[in-house]
Amino acid sequence: MKVCIDLGATNIKGARMEKGQIVVEACSPTGHGSREAVVASLTRAIEGLLAPGTDAIAIASAGDIDEARAVCTYATPNLEGFTGFDFVAYAWETFGLRCTAINDARAALLGEMCDGAGKNIRDRRVIMLTLGSGVGGAYWTNGSLAGSPANDYARFGHYCLEEGGIPCNCGRRGCIEQYLSGRALNRMARERGLQPEGYLLQAKEGDRTACAMAADLVRLLDRALLVIANRCPFDVCILGGGVAEGIAQSLPSLLSELSFPAVFAALGNRAGLFGAYRFAEGKA
């Protein structure tokens, strides 16, 4: 039995999992302001899921993760102070349990390929875009997760969408994350006088300004997929994260307007939990 954690910039999703199934799950806010605040939130989340028989902690985390060592080698300000965080040392010192760690977008794609939308297309080339507080990315080819210096380890959120565009907290400009993350889209909604996180429902109800924004969202997503395809050729895109869930609930027909084959994540926001579990089981 494992405690599985999906550590994001906004929320910490957790589950106790056994034999590939969720036994119990919970969600709590991620602490902000310092590494200590994030760690305190992480500790509370894990403590709430521990039970007799727990033998390991499996973590999917935002940031660049050295999966062999379970160390966060780089975290943007979305996860304050987490660069250099050693998950193995933390789990052993705090709980006396072994631990694995994988990047959250890679975990989400692994979960979908093992248990969700991709389980019947494991022989195809698949990308995943997770549209949440930030934008994560992962690539599946030749039957496993892939990433190399040649494609910047499939960190799609920081591929350039707009040359010289909006500054990104990674230090670059014009990154996909600055146009398609939940935070970016909410900013665009406010600039147009729309309700943040409510514009898709407004578009569904026929609001002209909201419909125009939904059309812009499709164009931005299509451009992003073209940029990605030039470096990571793919057959299918799986869309996950809170933004994708909002589209699926309010305007699922938007996917048909894309120039690339795309499907919604079947596991929703649980994909990272399933991926963390599968990674701990050696399924990557």
CATH number of this structure's domain 2-106+271-280: 3.30.420.40
The mean pLDDT of 20-30, rounded to a whole number, is: 96
Cβ(5)–Cβ(58) below 8 Å: yes
Structure-block tokens of residue 48? 């709430």
- Which sign, positive or negative, has the C-alpha torsion 157, 63, 27, 108? positive
Q: Are strands 236-240 and 262-264 parallel, antiparallel or unpaired?
A: parallel
Alpha helices in 25-125 (DSSP H): 35-47, 87-95, 104-115
Question: pLDDT (tens digit, 9 = 90+) per residue, 95-110?
Answer: 999 999 999 999 999 9
Helices (H) and strands (E) in the chain, counts: 9, 12
**CA-only gyration radius of the chain, Å:** 18
The per-residue pLDDT for 279 is: 97
Q: One-letter amino acid identity for 12?
A: I
Q: 107-164 pLDDT, tens per residue?
A: 999 999 999 999 999 999 999 999 988 899 999 999 999 988 888 889 999 999 999 9
Which amino acid is it at 207? Answer: D
Q: Taking 80 as the threshold, does the pLDDT of residue 170 lie above it?
A: yes
Which CATH class, in words, describes the domain spanning 121-266? Answer: alpha beta
Tokens read off for 105: 């977008």
Question: pLDDT tens for residues 181-231?
Answer: 999 999 999 999 998 888 999 999 999 999 999 999 999 999 999 999 999
d(CA 256, CA 91): 44
| Prediction pTM value | 0.92
Domain boundary assignment for the chain: 2-106+271-280, 121-266
Q: Are 2 and 14 in contact (CB under 8 A)?
A: no
Sheet strands (E) in 119-254: 126-131, 135-141, 144-146, 236-240
**pLDDT for position 142:** 94
CB contact burial 248-277 (16+ within 10 A = b; e otherwise): bebbeebbeeeebebbbbbbebbbbbbbbb
In this prediction, residues 28-51 reach a mean pLDDT of 94
Tell me if domain 2-106+271-280 and domain 121-266 are identical in fold: yes
CB-CB neighbours of 94 under 10 Å: 15
In our burial notation (b when 16+ CB lie closer than 10 A, e otherwise), range 196-209 reads eeebbebbeeebee
Give the C-alpha separation, 167 to 108, whole Å.
Answer: 27
